[in-house]
Structures are given as C-alpha cells and as structure tokens.
Amino acid sequence: MNSDTMKPSILIFIVFTVFNACSTSRESSQNHESPNPDAALRQGSYQLEDLNPQTILFVQDAFKAIEKHQFNTFIDFCNPAIYAAQKSIGIKRDQFIYEIFNLSIPGEDYLSVLDSTIHSIKAIKIESCQLNNADMVTFYTITGLIRLQDESSHAFTIEMIYRNGEYFFTGGVG
C-alpha cells in the first residue's frame, strides 16, 4: 500500500473514532442523573430542617421571595413548563401563585380575594414536608400556614419535585 492510498483510510478512521467518541460522551451525559440529595431519607413526613441543606435552601429562598413580595423571583422557582401552560390559558402570575399554594380563602370575588391575599402575605411557616422517593424523582408535599398582614393565618399545601438535578414547585394545569 502506498502512502497516497493510506491517507484517506487514516482520515476515515480518525473521523469515525472522533464521531464515535462524541456520540458516546453525549449519550452518557444525557443518561447521567444527578444524585438526589434526599435519597437517603425514607418515604414519610419530616420537618424542613431534617432534609438536605440544598433542599432547605431552595425552599427558604423561594418562600423569602414570597414574603418580600418578589413574585417574579418566586416564579423562577416554579416549573417553567407548567407556568407557561397556565399563562397560555389566561392565568395571571398572582392567580398562579395563589393556586400553586392551594389557598382557599372565602370571599365573594375570587380575583380580588386572591390579589389581596397574595399582596398581603407577611410570613410563611412550614409545618411539615411529606417525602416520596421514586425512581430518579423525589416528590415533596410541603404544608404550613401563610400569615397575612391582618394577622390571619391560612393553611397551604405546595408540591415540589427534584428531578435531573433541579428542584421545582409544581401545580396543576387547569
């Protein structure tokens, strides 16, 4: 074999090797799941402080945003696909927040009740966190009380998931 006929063969071999290495690398990175920080905990009810520091920080930062009325910041903690779906059917930000917390405060005009409620949140107290570990996903159900500026307290329940290395608060599309 002369050197002129070996050049294309070597080039084909190099291209094939590089292509194969890139494909294998991409597949392994797509199949890699981030370890769940609360995977060691069994299914059950916990206090927030019993959870992994990473989980605690996520929840605390999100709830601080609500207490400071930084509602757009709170939306960043929510599942973007669910929020986009809600927006597409006409749900505004404040209604999304009210409903993601599963609040139910009586009043004659639903929209004015939710608006006045969201804008008068003073503090959020977490009472418990129900944990359910499934394959590569952890589901959290956080319950507690939201205290308003008039000092009334209202029960809330909010759902959160940890999947693929990210936390998100979730809510129904309805």
Over its length of 174 residues, how does the chain's per-residue pLDDT go in tens digits? 555 554 444 433 333 333 344 433 333 333 445 567 787 788 889 999 999 999 999 999 999 999 999 999 999 999 999 999 999 999 999 999 999 999 888 777 888 888 889 999 999 999 999 998 887 789 999 999 999 999 999 999 999 999 988 999 997 554
User: Does residue 70 lie within any of the structural domains?
Assistant: yes
Give residue 4's pLDDT: 54
| Cα 142 to Cα 154: distance, rounded to the nearest angstrom | 14
Q: Are residues 82 and 116 in the same domain?
A: yes
Q: Are residues 27 and 52 in the same domain?
A: no
SS3 content of the chain, % helix, strand, coil (to 5): 45, 25, 30
The CATH code of the domain that includes 138 is 3.10.450
User: Does residue 39 lie within any of the structural domains?
Assistant: no
